[in-house]
Amino acid sequence: MATADKEVKTVAEYTGADEQLWQIDQLTDGTYRIMPKAIPGCTKKLALISIADSTPTLGDFDFNNDNCKWMLRGIE
Tell me the pLDDT tens digit for each residue of 1-31.
999 999 999 999 999 999 999 999 999 999 9
pLDDT at 34: 97
The range of the structural domain enclosing residue 15 comes to: 1-76
pTM, rounded to two decimals = 0.88
Name the percent of the chain lying above pLDDT 90.
87
Residues 6+ apart with CB under 8 A from 57: 6, 7, 8, 48, 49, 50, 51
Whether 53 has a pLDDT exceeding 90, the answer reads no
**How many domains are there within the chain?**
1
Mean pLDDT for all residues in the chain: 93
